[in-house]
């Protein structure tokens, strides 16, 4: 009968050596798995950045040569002539008006959901906002056309701003609500303990604390609205004439200018479309820089 090898005692040097070898192998597997997952995450992050970098590079390369004093200051003339001043002025009117409509509604709606609404009402409002966020923008355009264009028999800039505002409201509402929920309850309780009314606590404490995030949400909504085309085709229509301040008539915008010129056979029109796309890119970038700079200034203060 073969003699059995004695097992090493638990506290012996042999057992400790075997444990070290086993732990070293396990640690190596963990390190390998960690490195593999880090590489996968880095590749996913790169996959997010590469399309953005490619789009920005492509737009700059094709749109920057089209930018000139004539392009920025003249109205369209003939085929491929003139500039995009009507579209620039239109976007600078439509988007701010839409923001003035949407921002108060979205922020106040978020305050109600986060601070005052019951669970059922808050859930219903969140569901409605989520549905509106995912609603195709052309459906919004058809709706606004039916209530603000067809009854008056006239395409108009006000209808375009209302359509953009409808797109912006749910984005502002949901982002602002999430920011308000991040405000610590202790801040609210401290204000109420000092005898400050609830409405004043919300306005002076809660909103001020979350102002940076609220501005970021509004910024995202502005960036979304600035590039919308389908609602404007059905509402403000577009115009080759410069329209400043007359919201009852058709008004051009940069997305409409890109849409109209990109489908033309003349290369000069296509070049102008790239130039307008470049201006849209600069506009969105400028909005981001202004909001980030203001947020940084508030934090430093």
**What does the block give as tokens for 18?**
């075997």
Q: Please report where in the chains the tokens 């953005």 appear, as a residue.
A: 52
pLDDT tens, per residue, the chain with 301 residues: 444 445 445 555 555 554 545 556 778 888 888 999 999 999 999 998 998 899 889 999 999 999 999 999 998 887 767 889 999 999 999 999 999 999 999 999 999 999 999 999 999 999 999 999 989 999 999 999 999 999 999 999 999 999 999 999 999 999 999 999 999 989 988 988 989 898 899 998 999 988 888 988 898 899 889 989 999 999 999 988 899 989 999 999 999 999 999 888 888 889 999 999 999 999 888 887 877 776 666 665 5
CB of 238 closer than 8 Å to CB of 72: no
Domains of the chain, earliest start first: 65-300 (1.10.3720.10)
Q: What is the pLDDT of residue 163?
A: 96
- Residue 136: strand, helix, or coil: coil
Q: CB burial class (10 A; 0-12, 13-18, 19+) of residue 61? A: exposed
- How far, in Å, CA of 80 to CA of 70, rounded? 12
Residue 159 sits at the vertex; the CA angle it makes with 154 and 160, to the nearest 5 degrees, is 115
Closest Cα partner for 254 from 235, 221, 226? 226
Please give the radius of gyration of the chain, using alpha carbons only, rounded to the nearest integer: 29
Q: Please report where in the chains the tokens 């709706």 appear, as a residue.
A: 143
Closest Cα partner for 145 from 164, 132, 165, 160? 160
Q: Please report where in the chains the tokens 């090898």 appear, as a residue.
A: 5
Q: What is the pLDDT of residue 2?
A: 47
Q: What is the pLDDT of residue 1?
A: 43
């Amino acid at each position: 009968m073969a003699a059995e090898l004695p097992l090493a005692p638990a506290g012996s040097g042999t057992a400790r050596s075997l444990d070290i070898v086993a732990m070293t192998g396990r640690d190596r597997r963990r390190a390998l798995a960690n490195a593999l997952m880090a590489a996968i995450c880095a590749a996913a992050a790169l996959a997010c950045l590469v399309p953005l970098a490619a789009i920005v590079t492509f737009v700059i390369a094709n749109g920057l040569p089209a930018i000139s004093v004539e392009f920025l200051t003249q109205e369209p003339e003939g085929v491929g002539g003139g500039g995009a001043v009507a579209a620039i002025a239109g976007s600078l009117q439509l988007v701010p008006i839409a923001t003035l409509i949407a921002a108060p509604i979205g922020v106040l709606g978020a305050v109600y959901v986060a601070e005052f609404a019951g669970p059922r009402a808050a859930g219903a409002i969140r569901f409605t906002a989520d549905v509106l966020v995912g609603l195709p923008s052309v459906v919004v355009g058809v709706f606004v056309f039916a209530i603000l264009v067809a009854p008056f028999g006239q395409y108009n800039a006000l209808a375009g701003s209302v359509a953009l505002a409808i797109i912006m409201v749910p984005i502002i509402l949901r982002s602002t609500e999430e920011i308000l929920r991040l405000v610590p309850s202790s801040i609210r309780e401290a204000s109420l303990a000092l005898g400050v009314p609830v409405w004043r606590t919300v306005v002076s404490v809660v909103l001020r604390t979350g102002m940076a995030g609220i501005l970021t949400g509004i910024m995202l909504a502005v960036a979304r609205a600035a590039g919308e085309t389908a609602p404007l085709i059905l509402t403000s229509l577009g115009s080759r004439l410069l329209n400043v301040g007359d919201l009852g008539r058709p008004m051009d915008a940069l997305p409409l200018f890109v849409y109209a010129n990109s489908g033309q056979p003349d290369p000069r029109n296509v070049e102008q479309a790239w130039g307008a796309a470049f201006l849209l890119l600069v506009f969105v970038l400028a909005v981001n820089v202004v909001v980030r700079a203001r947020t940084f200034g508030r934090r430093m203060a």
